Amino acid sequence: MKVSVVGATGLVGTKMIQVLEERNFPVTELIPVASEKSAGKEVSFKGKKYTVTNMQDAIDRKSDVALFSAGGSASLEWAPKFAAAGITVIDNSSAWRMDASKKLIVPEINADELTASDKIIANPNCSTIQMVTALNPLHTKYKIKRIVVSTYQSVTGTGVKAVTQLMNERKGVKGEMAYPYQIDMNLIPQIDVFTDNGYTKEEMKMVNETKKIMDNSIRVTATTVRVPVMGGHSESVNVEFENEFDLNDVRELLQHAPGVVLNDDIKNLKYPMPIDAHERDEVFVGRLRRDETQEKTLNMWIVSDNLRKGAATNAVQIAEYLMKNKLLAIRK
């Protein structure tokens, strides 16, 4: 199978190539694509070097599937061209997520919606993916009415520039700034730009994507915060259900939920942290407790590696599902 990775030299693109190798995805030819400034660079995959190329070349070489992580504008321009050439695109940007004609997929939840005719498939926002992966089994049993979520998001979600800023500040070195403020020894209650309603785009992504993936009737409100952490995103989630729940049943559901690891043992100070989620594909859940101010409401803590399950791994899992169910048109 010919696989293009668009944005191959970025944090997520690099992680996509790593995950393809780790999961032994059947790549016969890797086609790494990046911007002109990366032309001629090489990436490694299974002991071989591959030279970075451009968008049109990836189309001309007849990729079977293309994993996109090159930003919204590149996706809007090029994903339809790939699709028109018969290439299935799995896009990690926000470009297609809320397009009514495109599927927004978390494999553990709604991969069965996919068909062979889906040529542009949207990968949800990283903070949305981990939240819905943990909440969907609870929604199936108890029916979620409302979610209040506050996030604590890693600098890796912004990209290489933000990681460099954090490391420079730790060393006392002046350099290029990814954020308008210092991030080391600080946190910034703004991710992406503000919209007219006072919420940021990141917050509205969580609202709208959760509804599209799980249930449009769920009310969601979010506050997203950038913190000086690498390794993963964390979320404090307050969930109100229509039906009463038992905490032991909740634990049982989460212990058997696909892609979820329950780490909830406060007697031994066991709970999920970003450092534990780093380079892991699971979504970790802990700090389960009733909201004592309101009936049928649960508090929980959710952590996941935003570059893996929040981006690269979820995209590769979609490709795996398409392949397993013969939904990819593999060309000889």
Mind telling me the catalytic residues?
126, 233
The number of angstroms, rounded, from the C-alpha of 87 to the middle of its chain's C-alpha atoms is 22
In the beta sheet, which residues pair with residue 283?
A: 260
Give every strand in the sheet of 88-91, ordered side by side. Answer: 29-33, 2-6, 65-68, 88-91, 120-122, 103-104
Beta strands in the chain (DSSP E): 2-6, 29-33, 42-45, 48-51, 65-68, 88-91, 103-104, 120-122, 144-153, 219-226, 233-241, 260-262, 283-290, 297-304
Strand 219-226 relative to strand 65-68: parallel, antiparallel, unpaired?
unpaired
Which neighbouring-strand residues pair with 68? 6, 91
In terms of phi and psi (left: phi > 0; alpha: psi -120 to 50; beta: otherwise), the region of 143 is left
